[in-house]
Amino acid sequence: MLSVRLSSRLSCLVLAMLVLTLTLSAGVGDTWYDNASASHAGGADEFGIDMNPNLISANTATSVSTQQTCGRIDRNGLQDADEDAVDALVVDLTVTNVPASAPMMGFMFTIAYNEGVLSVKAGDPNFFVTAQSGSNLFNANDATPDTNGNGVWHGAALDILPTTTEYGSGILERVTIGADPGAASGIYALTLQDSAHIDGYNNLYTPDALLGATVAIGGSYCPNTDSDGDGVYDADEANCGSNVYNATRRPERLDGTFATTDDDGDTLVNEALPGGSSGFDCDGDGYKGSAEGSIFVAGARDQDSCGNNGWPPELVSGGVTQNKVTIQDSGSFFAPTYRFNTSPGAGGFDARWDLIPGPAVPGGAWINSQDYGTLFAGPTSTPPMLGGAAVFNGPVCPWPP
């Protein structure tokens, strides 16, 4: 931390913060900079919203952990889903890398949200800005719960009697976001606006970047999120007959050791996936059931995630390529049989290489650059079963074929 003694500018600084807060609350555009010298140079790297501040390792007043950009509220009168209270999420407004050359004495931000769906229930700024002893917090937040009806909430705080200011990273404010009664299912944005910090000499600095977030309500799920870490994304698991928040339950599988177990907890073994699940990736290998039904002419298909018989990009099996995707798999589009730019009826065509079934454009070849590209880019190249790791020259598939 960097020591910066109070100057005679303290009274001006407090006045600037007060005018700033009042101006923000009134929604008066850029005039909120009028009582301080504004600059972009010297700003923090980022102000962001972390939707799950306790995941992996928790944020602290002076540190920021992995940022999660989506949280889910089930809106059922219970504390479940990602909730920290009944139908509510506790999220962190974080700051990353406030420079030592422009240490923080105060901050301000605006969260914009969908009025009638979400609301701010509480806010606590007593973290980064008061991390050192001798601090005296002036809380200039909007009132909570937020009932102004305009879909924005302003946060602001100032350390009015510090012996030191703050630089580095940490929690600016801990905010409680709740779902309003009757909120419709969907995914809703939390947007950061009008954000900056102020130093001990009345200079105002805007951050290099603002990282917003989203809230999934009701029957919607955060995209590309595996809450229980079982290798299947939440939205897929919910539609494939399993429990999103129970790591011991996954959609029913038919391969290997799964062939003798009740995987989804319904007391049945090796039953078919529920109706309507073909539009989802039930086995976590990156490919929807509808695609696997076309790629594989037989077998477990979307109930088998590994091996040449269940994992679409593993086109060649055996030896060093067993349960992995390597250059031998990508090369198999061209040799020993040339399959690239072929369609049904052509000598080299085989649906096993048509990884995005059908032509890329009407009248085009069925096996084309889109199929080849799935090994290197897009959601199929970083499936949930690998925890986001790349499939090409990546880890071994976690289950034997």
Shared-domain flag, residues 125 and 161? yes
**CB within 8 Å of 386: residues ≥ 6 apart:** 394, 395, 397, 398
Q: How far apart are CA 346 and CA 292, in angstroms?
A: 21
Are 197 and 205 spatial neighbours (Cβ–Cβ below 8 Å)? yes
Residue 102 lies in a domain: yes
In a domain, residue 162? The reply is yes
Q: Confidence band (pLDDT; 50, 70, 90) for 223? A: very high
Q: Are residues 176 and 44 in the same domain?
A: yes
Give the end of a domain, one of 183, 217, 251: 217
The more confident residue out of 177 and 9 is 177
pLDDT tens for residues 290-324?
999 999 988 889 999 999 999 999 999 887 778 99
Last residue of a domain, one of 191, 217, 243: 217
251 and 375 inside one domain: yes
* Residue ranges making up the domain that contains 294: 225-401
The side-by-side arrangement of strands in the sheet containing 46-50 is 118-124, 168-179, 88-98, 46-50, 209-211
pLDDT in tens, 72-118: 999 999 999 999 999 999 999 999 999 999 999 999 999 999 999 99
Element (H, E) at 215: strand 213-217
Pair 213, 285 in one domain: no
Specify whether 135 is located in the same domain as 232.
no
Residue 5 falls inside a structural domain: no
Is residue 53 a part of any domain in this protein? Answer: yes
If asked whether residues 296 and 161 sit together in one domain, one would say: no
Same domain? 280 vs 387: yes
DSSP secondary structure letters along 145-163:
S--SSSSEEEEEEEESS-S
Q: How high is the pLDDT of residue 162? A: 65
| pLDDT value for 19 | 44
Counting the structural domains of the chain, the total is 2
pLDDT tens digits for range 360-376: 999 999 999 999 999 99
Strands 88-98 and 168-179, sheet pairing:
antiparallel
Arithmetic mean of pLDDT over the chain: 88
Q: Same domain for 129 and 204?
A: yes
CATH value at residue 87: 2.60.40.680
Q: What is the mean pLDDT of residues 14-42?
A: 45
Distance CA 236, CA 273 (A): 12
Same domain, 278 and 345: yes
388, part of any domain: yes
Residues 191 and 282 in one domain: no
Residues 253 and 144 in one domain: no
208, 256: one domain: no
DSSP 96: E
DSSP 8-state symbol, 227: T
Give residue-wise pLDDT tens across range 203-217: 999 999 999 999 999
In a domain, 382, yes or no: yes
Q: Is 392 exposed, middle or buried (0-12, 13-18, 19+ CB in 10 A)?
A: middle
The candidate with the shortest Cα–Cα distance to 16, out of 160, 143, 194, is 160
Angle at 210 between CA 205 and CA 211, to 5 degrees: 150
Q: Of 173, 200, 217, which residue is a domain's last?
A: 217
Does position 32 have pLDDT exceeding 50, yes or no?
no
Strands (E), 87-147: 88-98, 106-112, 118-124, 137-139
- Flag whether 298 is in a domain: yes
Assess if residue 345 is contained within a domain.
yes
